């Protein structure tokens, strides 16, 4: 694209930009790193007893143990699987409902009021009901994740579709696009940004409701690992579980953001 002559003069700003990016990344790491330092300090100086909070090294040691005896990997695998299945079902349901609700008056009347009602309900309060319905197998965990994630996806996509630019719709009509083509080429791509916001939010919620439901009603998974450790006063295992949750949450968020960068490439200049 560039003329070869321009390459040299551009080299400097590109480098400068890269340096700024590194600096930014470093600054963003500063927060977590200082938390870690405080943690090490407080536990190392004995301000907090090791029964209340184990030191970072102790936690690392416990993590190694839990990994080598297979407890942590198997718990993680189970939880990750529940999140993936629940989030997938929730996304499909949320998208389907939002499309149905926003494309016709009938769908709107039937679906939107129920979804607006559902959003005001604290989903976790439904856990007892869900246990009564589904018992204690995989179904209730996946179900609650699906339910909790469908709602933000629905809400964001619905308002995204509703907010479609009328001018683009007019243009599409002058191009004689069919209704289906308009949905595919105008409405859905336009609603992609709000949808991804919903997805990111849903991914966060998925972990939240999963861990709570695993703590109330499970014999496996990360949430179970944590409550079980609590019963034996194994603070170190509890902390390992928390750290793992944090890491999984960050990874999920990074995944959605990567998806965002790909799908919304047209927005960046």
* Binding residues for another protein (CB under 8 A): 167-168, 170-177, 181, 185-186, 189-190, 192, 265-267, 269
Which residues 6+ apart lie within 8 Å of 218 measured at CB?
Answer: 136, 141, 224
Distance CA 114, CA 100 (A): 13
Of residues 120 and 269, the one with the C-beta less far from another protein = 269
Question: Nearest approach, Cβ of 17 to another protein (angstroms)?
Answer: 18
Within 78-230, strands assigned E span none
Of residues 4 and 120, the one with the C-beta less far from another protein = 4
Question: Nearest approach, Cβ of 163 to another protein (angstroms)?
Answer: 14
Of residues 219 and 268, the one with the C-beta less far from another protein = 268
Of residues 172 and 218, the one with the C-beta less far from another protein = 172
Output the DSSP codes for 2-62. Answer: --HHHHHHHHHHHHHHHHHHHHHHHHHHHHHHHHHHHHHHHHHTTSS-TTTS--HHHHHHH
Question: Nearest approach, Cβ of 4 to another protein (angstroms)?
Answer: 17
Of residues 12 and 265, the one with the C-beta less far from another protein = 265
Question: Nearest approach, Cβ of 172 to another protein (angstroms)?
Answer: 8
Question: Nearest approach, Cβ of 176 to another protein (angstroms)?
Answer: 6
Q: Of 154, 142, 143, which Cα lies nearest the Cα of 83? A: 142
Structure tokens at 175: 């191009």
């Amino acid at each position: 694209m560039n003329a070869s002559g321009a390459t040299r003069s551009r080299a400097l700003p590109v480098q400068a930009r890269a340096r700024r990016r590194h600096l930014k990344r470093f600054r963003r790491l500063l927060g977590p790193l200082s938390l870690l330092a405080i943690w090490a300090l407080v536990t190392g100086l004995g301000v907090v007893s090791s029964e209340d909070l184990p030191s970072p090294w102790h936690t690392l040691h416990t993590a190694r143990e839990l990994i080598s005896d297979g407890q942590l990997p198997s718990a993680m695998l189970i939880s990750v699987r529940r999140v993936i299945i629940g989030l997938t079902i929730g996304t499909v349901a949320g998208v389907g409902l939002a499309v149905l609700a926003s494309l016709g008056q009938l769908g709107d009347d039937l679906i939107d009021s129920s979804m607006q009602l559902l959003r005001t309900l604290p989903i976790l309060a439904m856990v007892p009901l869900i246990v009564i319905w589904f018992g204690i197998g995989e179904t209730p965990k996946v179900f609650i994740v699906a339910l909790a994630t469908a709602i933000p996806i629905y809400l964001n996509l619905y308002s995204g579709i509703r907010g479609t630019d009328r001018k683009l719709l007019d243009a599409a009509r002058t191009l004689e696009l069919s209704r289906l083509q308009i949905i595919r080429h105008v409405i859905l791509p336009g609603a992609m940004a709000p949808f991804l916001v919903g997805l990111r939010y849903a991914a966060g919620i998925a972990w939240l409701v999963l861990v709570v439901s695993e703590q109330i009603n499970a014999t496996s998974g990360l949430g179970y690992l944590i409550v079980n450790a609590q019963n034996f006063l194994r603070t170190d295992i509890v902390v390992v579980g928390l750290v793992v949750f944090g890491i999984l949450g960050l990874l999920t968020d990074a995944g959605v953001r990567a998806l965002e960068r790909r799908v919304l490439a047209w927005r960046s200049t």
